[in-house]
Structure 1
Amino acid sequence: MTADTAQAESVAPAGWRRLEAKGFSELVGPVWFRKEAGGVRFGFRAEDRHANPNGVIHGGMLMYFADHVLGALAWHACGRRPCATLSMNCDFLAAARPGDWIEGNAEVTRKGRAVIFIRGMLEKDGAPILTADSVWKVIGER
């Protein structure tokens, strides 16, 4: 894949907006988002640089993206206050490859004052490729 091809493939489908990135997210992005009736959905275009030596998207990249998707919901659910991942368990269901458009969504399954439980899924072409369950700590709450 040439640099021009990689750049063209990093563009999102119509209706998606690029998310501002800082730090690590800037290195592995871009990440895109789209507002929907039920909240926000996130996506990214898998590139060669996201792949492992076997030519499939590295599990670490998928886990980063899942953490980003679930974390965005945790942040929103706690009133846009800082929060941190306490735990995240992922199940890999199918492979993704460079060029694939990968989307993620999540839902709060239980929420307390200091801890939030969230379940999410990553999909490719409408089919699940990863599920994740996570626990989030609202910073400053006991």
Structure 2
Amino acid sequence: MNSSTAHVIATPAEASSIPEGFEPVDRGSAFLALLGPVYMKQATPDRTVIGVRIDGRHTNVKGIAHGGMLTTLADSALGIAIAIANNEKPMVTVNLSTDFVAAAHPGDWVEAHVDIQRIGARLAFANCYLQVGEKRIMRASGVFASV
């Protein structure tokens, strides 16, 4: 594979085809903005889904989504979901574990689905699954601490 293959940008049709119900994320840091555009929808009153369209900026030398990019997406999704569920109380990541199951490619729509296990006075625990369609591509487990 040559280097030009690894930097293929999603076509305009792919980039503009954001699934129904998703709106641009208007929260988070400048660092999260570098990942995006990132989108969010409230799937249910207690379930937030974060999504991003993979393009060439997100890929590694093999032309698939970089593991660091996917880890950043999972960490951000966990943090956003916990903040929403915890009345916007500031928390930071203290531990994050990831397992990669499959790859995402340019043009893929990746969704982060968060399952909050517990929010306590000091710590919050949650899992996140990144999916392309119904296919899970990564699992992340995070512990967050109040600041």
Indicate whether the TM-score tops 0.5. yes
Corresponding residue for residue 20 of structure 1: 26
Alignment of 1:93-108 (within 5 A): 93-108=101-116
Distance 2:123 2:75 in 1: 16
* Secondary structure at the counterpart of residue 143 of structure 2: strand
- In the aligned structure 2, how far is the partner of 1:9 from the partner of 1:82? 35
- Give the share of equivalent positions with the same residue, in percent: 34
Q: Specify the SS of the correspondent of 2:89.
A: coil
Q: Which structure 2 segments of 5+ residues have no match?
A: 1-7
Q: SS of the counterpart of 1:98?
A: coil
Q: List structure 1 runs of 4+ shifted beyond 6 angstroms.
A: none
Deviation at 1:40, TM superposition (A): 1.4
1:84-117 alpha-carbon deviations (Å, 9 max, x no partner): 0000000000011000000011111122100001
* Structure 2 counterpart SS, 1:72: helix
Among 73, 77, 84, the alignment partner of 1:65 is: 73
* Aligned equivalents of 2:9, 2:97: Cα separation in 1: 35
* Alignment partners' CA distance in 2, 1:9 and 1:96: 14
Which secondary structure state, in structure 2, belongs to the residue aligned with residue 10 of structure 1?
helix
- Consecutive unaligned residues in structure 1, runs of 5 or more: none
Could you tell me how far 1:39 is from its partner in structure 2? 2.0
- Structure-2 change in CA distance of 1:74 and 1:2 (3 Å): closer
Question: Paired residue for 2:5?
Answer: none
Mapped contact 2:9–2:55 kept (Cα < 8 A): no
State the AA in 2 paired with 1:9: E
